[in-house]
Amino acid sequence: VCGVSPRLMRIESTANHRVKGVKRLHRGRERRAAGRTILEGPKLLEAAVDAGVVPVEVYTSERTAAVERAAAAGAAVSDVSPAVLAALSTTVEPQDPVAVVAIPAFAPPNAERTIVLVDVGDPGNMGTLIRSAVALGWRTAVMGGTDPWGPKVLRAAAGAHFAAPLINVESLDAIRDAGLSTVATIVQGGVRPEEVGAGAAVALLIGSEAHGLPAEIVDGSDWKVTIPMPGPAESLNVSIAGAIAMYALGRRE
């Protein structure tokens, strides 16, 4: 037909088998089985591409600059209807595009400054901790808790997942075997973070929002630190406590 440029097939149906495959990645178990996760919106996609990640697939209803960059990097781009995009998205207000990326390999637990998230359950807090760690020059190890590659964690981390590899540990033995001193963060009774001995390679341990660190982990740690809270309410969000502790431990040297 004259005047009509060639056009790749657009996916219009949410029943399409590829759409169904991406939607399975909304669940943590499926992400781990596939070794893949999804990135929603241009910012996360650009952070991944900036870090040298080639997305496996990109789904879009409008070819934005972020999509063209991913295509130039080698990603397969599929045009989809707005309804399909909404189905691929995990949010009430879908962000275009939705990209599928391979979850990078975990790094070994040998970084000099590592924050260990022990059973952190809130995705926003975990993502903010990963973001703060990257900015402050720390590595992040995850020990239980929510899936670090879930959509809400990725959103709160604002691309930090791609700036430094995450570490996955099943127990603190791996941390100690790597020669790191363990520093448990507790609500009261610890020393100021600045008082931890300078020079040592440290693993800062942060517990869950609801319960803090398990008693056996606190008991077995080399240092116990508490952020002084002189105010009338002794309560800091876990992502705030972790960031202040990282900053203060970085001020030892």
**Positions in the binding site for a copy of itself (CB under 8 A):** 124, 128, 131-138, 156, 158-160, 163-164, 194, 227-237, 239-240, 243-244, 247-248, 250-251
Q: Are 209 and 168 in contact (CB under 8 A)?
A: no
Query: Which is closer to a copy of itself, CB of 55 or CB of 127?
Result: 127
The least distance separating a copy of itself from the CB of residue 137, rounded to whole angstroms, comes to 4
Query: Which is closer to a copy of itself, CB of 134 or CB of 203?
Result: 134
The least distance separating a copy of itself from the CB of residue 97, rounded to whole angstroms, comes to 22
Q: Are 101 and 56 in contact (CB under 8 A)?
A: yes
The least distance separating a copy of itself from the CB of residue 101, rounded to whole angstroms, comes to 17
- Residue 245, classed as helix, strand or coil, is helix
Query: Which is closer to a copy of itself, CB of 74 or CB of 137?
Result: 137
- Residue 157 CA to residue 123 CA, distance in Å, equals 10
Query: Which is closer to a copy of itself, CB of 19 or CB of 115?
Result: 115
- What is the dihedral sign for C-alpha 182, 183, 185, 191? positive
Distances in Å between the alpha carbon of 56 and those of 186, 190, 200?
Answer: 42, 47, 41
The least distance separating a copy of itself from the CB of residue 174, rounded to whole angstroms, comes to 23
Other CB atoms within a 10 A radius of the CB of residue 19 amount to 21
